[in-house]
Amino acid sequence: MASTADIGVFRPLTENPFMRLATVFVFYIFEGVPMGLFYVAIPAFMANTGAGTTEIATVVTAFSLPWTLKLMNGFLMDRYTFLPMGRRRIWIVGSQSVMALSLLIAAFFNPVGTDTALLSVLAFVVSTATTFQDVSIDSLVVDIMNEDEQAKAGGIMFGAQTFGMSGATAAGGYFLHKYGSGGAFIAAAVFLSFGVLFALLLRERPGERRLPWSEGRAHPRNLDIKIDAWLPLLRQSFKAMTAPASLIVVPFLLVRNVPAGIYDVFNPVLATRYVGLSTTQYTNITSLSSLVAGIVGLLVGGYLTAKIGKRRVLATMFVLTGT
């Protein structure tokens, strides 16, 4: 007889289609929280308290840098994991914990908008943990979902991440304006801690442990595909990076991110100093535009991807982004 822990939504993800998609939705919301803070709310807070574009760019760059190193995340996660808890879940729990704990520790320092060095260190640490969480969830999707579910998950990822960014932008702007960085970081840390609890309730496959010290064992399928050496990983990655599709995509990604970098740094200064908006007003406007984009992505993105196909949707988005 199955225990209560194996009934309903608590069933392993491989046996629970609803929870597979719900897990993607939930964790992409959590992933969007640091983005909303460090791409929008913190820059607006800094601009409103006297920081210039150079200081804001330093913090935004510190947050962006770990995203360029995600390839290394995949190496580490494939090479080192704790299989009794699944291939990815130990990394999800760990990265989510670091995200919450880093913000909680930073709250005690209560940095002002001109504390560029402290905010940059915090941005880098939180972003690094966020990238590990991102790669973990993406890998989990590939690992346990069929192709149809992956198409749906693609729309859910964009929409949920945008919801998280939008909520963190609006809430972060309010807390920064009202209570300073300490209040904003505590609020974000408390919210992110629910992600840790959620991850601890999950299991990827039957028979695995929920906690490192609880009963359970590694699933035979995971033991069969475990890679115990670096060379096979490097070979597979080199193949993927040098594939024609990868070489075509890279220039588009580079071009797409140029205006985004300018936007993140210059717009807070323009809005707060020249237009006269407060931190809260600026973050509310940005949050609303993100929310609309998130709703469209969530409702339409997955459907279009499944209907038209991944390649056509990707090609269309590259053309639209490039123009």
Q: What is the DSSP string of 258-285?
A: HHHHHHHHHHHHIIIIIS---HHHHHHH
Instruction: Kindly report the pTM of this predicted structure.
Output: 0.83
Cite the DSSP H helix spans in 13-80: 17-36, 42-48, 53-64, 70-79
Q: What is the mean pLDDT of the chain?
A: 82
Residue 117, pLDDT above cutoff 50: yes
CATH number of 4-322: 1.20.1250
State the pLDDT confidence band at 51, using cuts at 50, 70 and 90.
confident
Contact status, residue 87 vs residue 204, Cβ threshold 8 Å: yes
Which residues are within 8 A (CB) of 91 and not within 5 positions of it... i.e. 6 or more apart? Answer: 77, 81, 132, 133, 135, 136
Nearest one of 124, 120, 122, 128 to 58, comparing CA atoms: 120
Residue 1, pLDDT above cutoff 70: no
How far, in Å, CA of 82 to CA of 127, rounded?
23
Domain ranges of the chain: 4-322
How far, in Å, CA of 61 to CA of 119, rounded?
11
How far, in Å, CA of 290 to CA of 6, rounded?
37
Query: Look-up: residue for tokens 């291939």?
Result: 87
Contact status, residue 279 vs residue 48, Cβ threshold 8 Å: yes
Pick the more confident residue, 138 or 78: 138
The pLDDT value given to residue 144: 85
Residue 2, pLDDT above cutoff 50: no
Contact status, residue 291 vs residue 140, Cβ threshold 8 Å: no
State the pLDDT confidence band at 63, using cuts at 50, 70 and 90.
very high
Residue 42, pLDDT above cutoff 90: yes
How far, in Å, CA of 28 to CA of 11, rounded?
21
User: pLDDT (tens digit, 9 = 90+) per residue, 94-115?
Assistant: 999 999 999 999 999 999 989 9
Pick the more confident residue, 206 or 256: 206
